[in-house]
Amino acid sequence: MATFIEEARRRQIVEAAIAVLAHEGYARASLSRIAARAGISKSVITYHFDGKDEMFEAVFSHVADAAGAYMTPFLERAGDPAGQIAAYIRHQIAYMRDHRDELLAIGTLALNHGGASGTPDYIVRSAEEERTILTALVTDGQAAGQIRGDLDAEFIAGLISKTVEGGLSEWAWRPETDLSAYADQLIDLLERGMRADTKK
Amino acid sequence: MATFIEEARRRQIVEAAIAVLAHEGYARASLSRIAARAGISKSVITYHFDGKDEMFEAVFSHVADAAGAYMTPFLERAGDPAGQIAAYIRHQIAYMRDHRDELLAIGTLALNHGGASGTPDYIVRSAEEERTILTALVTDGQAAGQIRGDLDAEFIAGLISKTVEGGLSEWAWRPETDLSAYADQLIDLLERGMRADTKK
Amino acid sequence: MATFIEEARRRQIVEAAIAVLAHEGYARASLSRIAARAGISKSVITYHFDGKDEMFEAVFSHVADAAGAYMTPFLERAGDPAGQIAAYIRHQIAYMRDHRDELLAIGTLALNHGGASGTPDYIVRSAEEERTILTALVTDGQAAGQIRGDLDAEFIAGLISKTVEGGLSEWAWRPETDLSAYADQLIDLLERGMRADTKK
Amino acid sequence: MATFIEEARRRQIVEAAIAVLAHEGYARASLSRIAARAGISKSVITYHFDGKDEMFEAVFSHVADAAGAYMTPFLERAGDPAGQIAAYIRHQIAYMRDHRDELLAIGTLALNHGGASGTPDYIVRSAEEERTILTALVTDGQAAGQIRGDLDAEFIAGLISKTVEGGLSEWAWRPETDLSAYADQLIDLLERGMRADTKK
DNA sequence: GATGAATGAGATTTCATTCAT
DNA sequence: TATGAATGAAATCTCATTCAT
């Protein structure tokens, strides 16, 4: 049960996979390239993982779990719903800065991975989880009178999710993008757009 | 130079490619599958196109040009900048309804196509063109006092672009999505978020 | 529809596969070895056949059909049931002499081919067909009073089948085996063993 | 020289190999699968055996020796040659019932195992041994006037061998086969076919 | 203008074996 | 005595492309 070496290798492979996915894209993320990036032989990957699919699942879970774990405390601490939404956006975007490749990697996995049987469960579940959390925040905000009641909570949740991700792709595309400013602007714009005005 | 047959064949191939890209994804869009979908032999594709890359370029241009041509009149006609932005969003989203596969196809091309030398020029140029148009609209809106001057026009342009595309992916993911409602909500939210209030 | 070249290539591949199966066994009958034997590239095989399985099916059908076609007239011409059984044995064994590799090939396919889902249908069907024919002959012989009625027709049919095949493997194992003599002795022994004696 | 553990492990591995060979066939009998069936690690096999070939030799010898040891007393006890042949058939077939997997395993080994240098010696020798014993029995029967002198003893020996094995494959293929009845019918048929009639 | 045929490159995966511990 | 780790070889299959017709 030399879990140590095993874990180290798995992490090493996952990291190499993240790098290849982020920098070369899904279509080029072959076992050869990933192994080359990790400096190991191709068969080491199939030794430590059941196959390419299982490895990608490990990549996805590794990143998604870490991101989820990072976000949780901020959401809990952040006071009222509007504050929580702002916290969500701000910290998610802050997190991107330090985990660019990881998030790009799972992004491309979410978009491309999945064969004849459709998108893998763990990806679908992850997406739905995020959607559920955001929808609840919006609904709470509406109940608290902070967010206009006529807005469709699902729509807003989707919008937040897409625009936060948009920050990442903007940054990936244009490295000079200031992510903090992006977050600030996004929060400001959404708050103005969503807030229940005292008078219309 | 039997341009007629030539053109017909190219269109047929482009349409098959669109269908495969939209329904099976970039990674599965092989010449075999595209030829099979078109009911022709694989080598017909390499006869009419220089290779896979050139064919994908034709796909992209075909769709992007058509979408651009569709949008132009609406932008010109639409009065003030805020109205133009709304028109852009509304008509782009309306266009999606009738050209779902085409837009999904170029979406996946934009995200995945590109080899060692990076994203192809024609894709980059197309993205930048859209960005330029939107940025100009926002700048105009600011000049006209309709949009808050403290907003970064580039940021807003990117946001519009991403949220419009978001409508497509939302619809692709959840077919029950009402795209008209999506457009209305998006316009409403952005207008409130962007408008230069008479008093803060 | 250049069926000619297509057919020629398929036959060439099938023949190479037969040679490899017969001389090197199922376990060594890889596409590489078969292609090498045929003097072609590996991918020519997957071009002309859907895959290894389909190619093996072609091998099996090619041989089984030819053998069946060869046998039919002899069975029809051969008079009474006992004569037909003798004809079956004699001609089947005679056929072996000129089609050693083919029959060894489908023999090893019958024994080894088949993955998780069991033996392929076409092999099962072929085996059952032969069994049905032989069983019918035996039953006819019993009805005609030539074969003892207390014998289990199925058992005899299986015995004939196995002992005829036995001639092939005997010959493969010991090339000095005289197949004609083998057939004569087998017929003689079976006739004596099966015949309805006038008195016990 | 902890022969005890060593022997236990070897037996355990041999048994797992037998199970895999019998149920999944030669082509699927990989060290991985055998180790998995035994619930041990792959390298345990290569530790206790020099390699796959040596392990298969152990499998073959284990089964062939046990079957031989089982048969010997029956052959010695069984009176006249015809009785010995009947005993051989009956007890060999009876033995099959309790050792189905073992005999299927060495059957598939005999047919498939063997590389560039042909069938391994130990398999050839085992087959020849059986052939020798049977041939001697037939010759004895002829000398004793129980079996027609015009029969080729080698032929008969081969026939017995193949038809007895035939019982196993019949049973493997159709589990409802009654092996005792099979033995009875086979003995009856062979005796009638072989016996030196008082008058022709 | 069209396409069947061929093929090398490269993909994923299984495998037997070696080695260090 | 045992085994996790590693790996190169080889397996099947897919692919984009070239070529002859």
The type of residue at D43 is S
By CA distance, what is B188's nearest residue in A?
Answer: A193
Using a CB-CB cut-off of 8 Å, the residues of chain C touching D194 are 189, 192
Q: CATH number for the A60-194 domain, one of 1.10.10.10, 1.20.1290.10, 1.10.357.10, 3.30.360.10?
A: 1.10.357.10
Please tell us whether the domain made up of C3-194 is placed in CATH 1.10.357.10: yes
C2 or D176, which is more confident = D176
- Distance in angstroms, CA of D49 to C1' of F5? 20
By CA distance, what is D153's nearest residue in C?
Answer: C185
Q: Is D115 helix (H, G, I), strand (E, B) or coil?
A: strand
Confidence of residue C134 (pLDDT cuts 50, 70, 90): very high
Confidence of residue C76 (pLDDT cuts 50, 70, 90): confident
By CA distance, what is D107's nearest residue in C?
Answer: C111
Mean pLDDT, rounded, of chain A: 93
Minimal Cα–Cα distance from C159 to chain D, Å? Answer: 7
Assigned architecture for domain B61-194? Orthogonal Bundle (1.10)
- Distance in angstroms, CA of B47 to C1' of E2? 8
Residues of chain B with pLDDT under 50: 1, 199-200
Q: Is the pLDDT of residue C2 over 60?
A: no
Q: Could you give the residue ranges of the DSSP H alpha helices within chain C?
A: 3-24, 31-38, 42-48, 52-77, 81-98, 100-112, 121-143, 153-173, 179-194
By CA distance, what is A150's nearest residue in B?
Answer: B185
Which pLDDT belongs to residue A2?
A: 54
From the list B72, B86, B78, B68, the residue with the least C-alpha distance to B147 is: B86
Q: Is D147 helix (H, G, I), strand (E, B) or coil?
A: strand
**Domain D59-194: assigned CATH number:** 1.10.357.10
Residue pair C60/C126 in contact by the 8 Å Cβ criterion: yes
Q: Could you give the residue ranges of the DSSP H alpha helices within chain B?
A: 3-24, 31-38, 42-48, 52-77, 81-98, 100-112, 121-143, 153-173, 179-194
Residue D193 neighbours by CB under 8 Å, 6+ apart: C188, C189, C190, C191, C192, C193
Q: For A187, how many CA atoms within 13 A lie in the half-sphere containing its CB?
A: 19
Q: What is the pLDDT of residues A123-160, one digit of tens each?
A: 999 999 999 999 999 999 999 999 999 999 999 999 99
Whose tokens are 């006071």? That residue is: A79
CA angle (B11 as vertex; B9, B15 as ends), nearest 5:
120
Two structure tokens written together for C26: 């199922």
Per-residue pLDDT of chain D (200 residues; tens, 9 = 90+): 457 878 899 999 999 999 999 999 999 999 999 999 999 999 999 999 999 999 999 999 999 999 999 988 887 766 888 999 999 999 999 999 999 999 999 999 999 998 778 899 999 999 999 999 999 999 999 999 999 999 999 999 999 999 999 999 999 999 999 999 999 999 999 999 998 875 44
Q: What is the C-alpha to C-alpha distance for residues A75 and A78, in angstroms, rounded to an integer? A: 5
Confidence of residue C148 (pLDDT cuts 50, 70, 90): very high
**b/e code D42-65 from CB counts within 10 Å (16+ = b):** eebbeebbeebeebbbbbbbbbbe
**Cβ atoms < 10 Å from Cβ of D84:** 22
Mean pLDDT, to the nearest integer, of A114-118?
82
Q: Is the pLDDT of residue C155 over 50?
A: yes
Q: Which nucleotide is nearest to A3 (CA to C1')?
A: F4
Any contact of A with B, at least 3 CB pairs below 8 A?
yes
| H or E stretch at B66 | helix B52-77
Q: What is the C-alpha to C-alpha distance for residues D124 and D167, in angstroms, rounded to an integer? A: 22
Report how far Cα A164 is from the mean position of its chain's Cα atoms.
9
- Distance in angstroms, CA of A50 to C1' of E19? 23
Which pLDDT belongs to residue D2?
A: 56
DSSP B41: -
- Distance in angstroms, CA of C29 to C1' of E7? 21
Minimal Cα–Cα distance from C181 to chain D, Å? Answer: 9
Residue B135 neighbours by CB under 8 Å, 6+ apart: B153, B154, B156, B157
CB–CB of C189 and D190 under 8 A? yes
Report how far Cα A56 is from the mean position of its chain's Cα atoms.
15
Whose tokens are 């030829």? That residue is: B35
CB–CB of B158 and A170 under 8 A? yes
Confidence of residue A72 (pLDDT cuts 50, 70, 90): confident
Mean pLDDT, to the nearest integer, of A53-57?
97
Report how far Cα C88 is from the mean position of its chain's Cα atoms.
12
Q: Is A44 helix (H, G, I), strand (E, B) or coil?
A: helix
Q: Is the pLDDT of residue A200 over 80?
A: no
Which pLDDT belongs to residue D200?
A: 43
Two structure tokens written together for A48: 């430590």
The protein residue nearest nucleotide F2, judged by CA to C1', is: D44
- What does chain D come to in residues? 200
The protein residue nearest nucleotide E21, judged by CA to C1', is: A2
Which site among D28, D85, D106, D112 would you substitute to test the C interface, given the most C Cβ atoms closer than 10 Å to its Cβ?
D112
Nucleotides of strand E under 7 angstroms from a protein beta carbon: 1-20
